[in-house]
Chain A
């Protein structure tokens, strides 16, 4: 029988001992014995916490109590009746695969699975910080956002690591699928810009901003065949002030969306969940409430919770802050400050590894440079210091992905002699594996806006380039290996007047890659969609 004395206030009084004062020649006072302490309670109901059956507090008589009493300081005396926690319920089953808790109303133990099977394929995602299938991981699904990925499943060309061997579509290449891309935004929404693209296993869901005036956000669904479906240009935000940016993620049974909006007098970061029908499943949840702008949000999924990050002006200059968010869209804890440096830290990008979260961001000290920092997956405490990915070049708009066993950081150099798309790789301890390496070769022209898809042993870059003199930027792609060495030539994807920029890519059905981008070919800024086909190469 274990005990915890819940009475403290009355106990303190017992520590006051009588003292005798010698005042030189005066008669000593006779000090009466201390009064017996008053009872702390008469009934169980007098004790705070008496209704908690997990840690029941009882009113007991210490003289007739056969259990272990709390140890008292010298001179202290227990009251005749005290409130004691008697026999708290221990629900720990020593099983790391269960979340153990006690229900206060019943005193009964409750055990729930510590890992999730959101995609319903019968395989659970591992616990945070564990590789799939590792001891105590409690899950061996390498991708719990896809029912087509689980150990033992045959690999096919579908953009998924079906057999969980760490490689997506082993050996495949990607080629343009359609002769012409699909325009998503109507004339009423110009100028429009691409914000996010996700694939839910059946269709793509695009998120874009538009409107000449107040800018609002809209959702459009695209079929695997590249046709518009419902919802089509469905309003996502209904506010009186500009809303745009952010990201959309499909996590197996729902979408998470993070964006910025100034409905409340300033740009703040918001989050919501959408069901598969692209309907909002929870109210818009405001993640920030701080002076200055909270903007340029990014969103990641750990397998168990979301992490949002953004640049935040609350301290004067921009720092990067983050917020953990539960699978049900409830913020976990407070905003977490991830960077604290002189000059602005901007344009954050997040990626989730095995035990860490990587943050890539731009810093404006000594020009524009790219920095990387790694954090603990469970509580966002820093694992590394600031890693200077670039120094002394005009490197901007970093992006980071997790690819098999390493982080890949990408960016583009805006000015100077080599205005190309670059990449560098790091392990989870922050050690550089591949130094900054040019991915594109624009010659005297420019490459910009890289987005990358991880294939485990390769990476597919999609970016814009204006080398061809075609009145602006066109989209290009290139495959590289884990050391960032090119596999094949750069491939031009678009061919139209004016700019094709800001590509956002995601895997779709049959291994195809969906690309959302801004294109000005119709003499106005519109959002377009195109696909690359996955082609299996003979092994």
Chain B
């Protein structure tokens, strides 16, 4: 019953999306203007229906209703409740339903709250949103129905992959998804503005909160995913330049560029065409990423439910949505007149530089990710990995970060470097000193550059606050400072991990001791333990940092029975200056236990930095929304006063 209800809600939502598209399009014409009035209510109801449908799926997973195919294939009655619920989006069909749900809710929110833009642009925007949604509804309903019944019902579910039975699954995919799909709003705004040719600061201010919000979620999603892989995969790596990871990085790069260019558009009415294009590209990258992952077209993903039919379907969606949007861009962008002009040495100039560099990095990541496919077309197999991405990325990241340190100090429109020369002396000197010290230590080039840049940027990030009364600094400026500081912190973590990590692979008996960096580690005992749906062998390690007091680490080697599988659970001990990482391996023939141990100085800074970046975005978002609200209230007051005076 619940399944049928969910399916019905989904069909109804799809029908409303069609109505929204037609009414929105006709509403733009002179004769259909009256139809335009139903667009907003329809968008709201559509969002509610998608939410209902998703709630139905959650309920089915909650009850472990094994007469539903998706539940039987991905859940199990013996699983902890959190993972039962997370199972709802831990698969293709459920995650696509989550996608349309977020998209529907985003559409409702736009329809409910956005009042700043001309109504024509709003109609075009909501019609665009409906158009994109319709494709995904078709995908769900025609080829990936999450509510399909199983007759007869399965006696027991097949369980969820043990590596996915982790809090990471509950948090990471939905976060990333909100980011991906949030960008669809920016996409629709761009479509709307291209259709009605109304691009300006008001448009940028309307779009900005959506970009900021999506970007915050994307950042958190990537940070969570990276940390999850770091502790779950058990080899201490946190980024592999795998196609699947790149698929999540590319929308983030585009959104970061968009975030900066939309600020130029809002503040200075410049970069109109460029911002339009980025808005289209950002969501396109979300869809391209989804396509690359689902179609199984790249080697990395082929083991995950390869389905050429799904791949073809998403490709058709890409072709219609992205192809259509880019064609519209080609036709209309020329008629959106270019905005205000500015000098190269100015705030705008620095932001343009940032945009160009981010786009170049995006280009390199895309190139490296797709190149194996291109090589295959010529009958050869090549691999593109860290030895390519790291130095190539650095070529563009390094100049970009240097400008990131200086740009925020520059004035809008035109400025001279001489004016800010004194301010940047401190970070520059810090950078030089760090560079020289590291060079004497014999640190490799990339980590050296990373740490030196981070040292300079940590200070440079706060320079925009100089000479201001801190209590009067507006939230968006705080946001920028915090986010740029986060970049420095994260960069520091990455570079330290690569420069100073100590690895020890050892075979120990109970009672043996080993040294890893500054740590002394004793293997105390190995014993069996039991969990809710697994049993494990657990090692108890006693670790002392630099002769200090002992801390306990308990890495496990787990055996799950639904489905039967072995995983190793790493154990982490976090200090302010790094992390000790322990993994229990197999027992050798001589009775000694295999242990993998790493001391990773400052590795946690990678994710703390990421969280700071997201926090910066959040501060800016709150600041923008608050001032928008204030402006809206002031406007209403004036209108009200006028009304009373009129009486």
**Bind each other:** no
B contact residues vs A (CB 8 Å cutoff):
none
A contact residues vs B (CB 8 Å cutoff):
none
